[in-house]
Amino acid sequence: MAILGGHVNPAVPATRVAPRTLPWRGAALGAVTVTPAIGVALMHPVINGPTFHQYADVRPWFGIPNAGDVLSNLPFVVIGIAGLLAARKVVGISRGLVALFFAGVLGIGLGSGAYHAFPFDATLAFDWLPIVLALAWLSALLLADRVDPLAGKVAALVLPLAAAASIGWWWLGGGTTAGGDMRWYAFIQLLFVVLVPVILMLYPRGRLDRTNLLLGVGCFVAARLVHSADETVLQITGVSGHTFKHLVAALAAYFVLRAVRRIGPAPALPR
């Protein structure tokens, strides 16, 4: 129904226009991204030598070196495969981005397992890359779900390039053997994690379940904490902090899988 010249024309259906996103939300999201990047650019390089490859638990099991840190990556493989299967049934959000995220999770399991079996710079790059790619695609998925589908598509291209560049910066700078700078990789990983609660706060309407996503972020933070106490946790529990890190980080990916499986109907537009 439309109004023409002050009269109602019942033959023409009325069109409901979605409200525009308030500009301040985009500005706040940009500030969260750009401001810390400027700070990181002004920081001194973060350099770690070959001792970076040394972890607390080096016990072999059944001929597998560093077996605890290798085998604890199996949950990533299982969740990655489950997520790829779940992506085929997704309705209302980008199946491609869901599939890319869980392909990244699968890559984490394979890359981290290979690195811990043979820890040196080349396998470390193979370990790092799927981590930041998965986080980049998760950020893009959230942008597509809650901000704008086009923003999600752009982010799905730009953020992985930034992620790969951060590892290239470290690798081309010499890695652990010749003073490679890790600060950009560390910043990119942290930024993509922080973006999840920031997007959820700024853009509350979306199909991906907020609670499960926040639980995933909490697990990621917990994983970093147990990793920082690698040797201490091993002495107390008999299982190293880094092994626990893999298990808790895989739980974070599981919560994203739950969020995908619990996608609800499209949010109603405000009147």
- Give the pLDDT confidence of 131-169 residue by residue, as tens digits: 999 999 999 999 999 999 999 999 999 999 999 999 999
Give just the sign of the alpha carbon dihedral 88, 130, 205, 23: negative
Q: Is residue 2 part of a domain?
A: no
pLDDT at residue number 30: 85
Burial grade of 177 (CB within 10 A; 0-12, 13-18, 19 or more): exposed
pLDDT digits (tens, 9 = 90+) for 85-94: 999 988 888 9
Q: Is residue 124 part of a domain?
A: yes
Q: Is residue 82 part of a domain?
A: yes
pLDDT at residue number 10: 52
pLDDT digits (tens, 9 = 90+) for 200-246: 999 999 999 999 999 999 999 999 999 999 999 999 999 999 999 99
Tokens at 151, concatenated: 């923003």
Q: How many CB atoms lie within 10 A of CB 148?
A: 15
Beta bridge partners of 3: 8
CA distance 166 to 187: 9
CA distance 72 to 52: 19
Q: Helix (H, G, I), strand (E, B), or coil: what is residue 249?
A: helix
Q: Is residue 251 part of a domain?
A: no
The single-letter code of the amino acid at 136 is A
Tokens at 103, concatenated: 């392909």
Q: Is residue 1 part of a domain?
A: no
pLDDT at residue number 28: 87
Nearest in space to 115 (alpha carbons), one of 26, 161, 55: 55
pTM for this predicted structure: 0.87
Domain that holds residue 94: 63-206
CA distance 23 to 137: 24
Q: Is residue 133 part of a domain?
A: yes
β-strands 2-4, 7-9 pairing: antiparallel
Q: Is residue 78 part of a domain?
A: yes
Q: Is residue 117 part of a domain?
A: yes
Contact 52, 116 (CB under 8 A): no
Give how far Cα 85 sits from Cα of 76, 99, 183, Å.
14, 8, 35
Contact 247, 72 (CB under 8 A): yes
Q: Helix (H, G, I), strand (E, B), or coil: what is residue 9?
A: strand
Place of tokens 């706040």: 28
Structural domain tally of the chain?
A: 1
Q: What is the dihedral of CA 137, 141, 144, 150, to 10 degrees?
A: 20
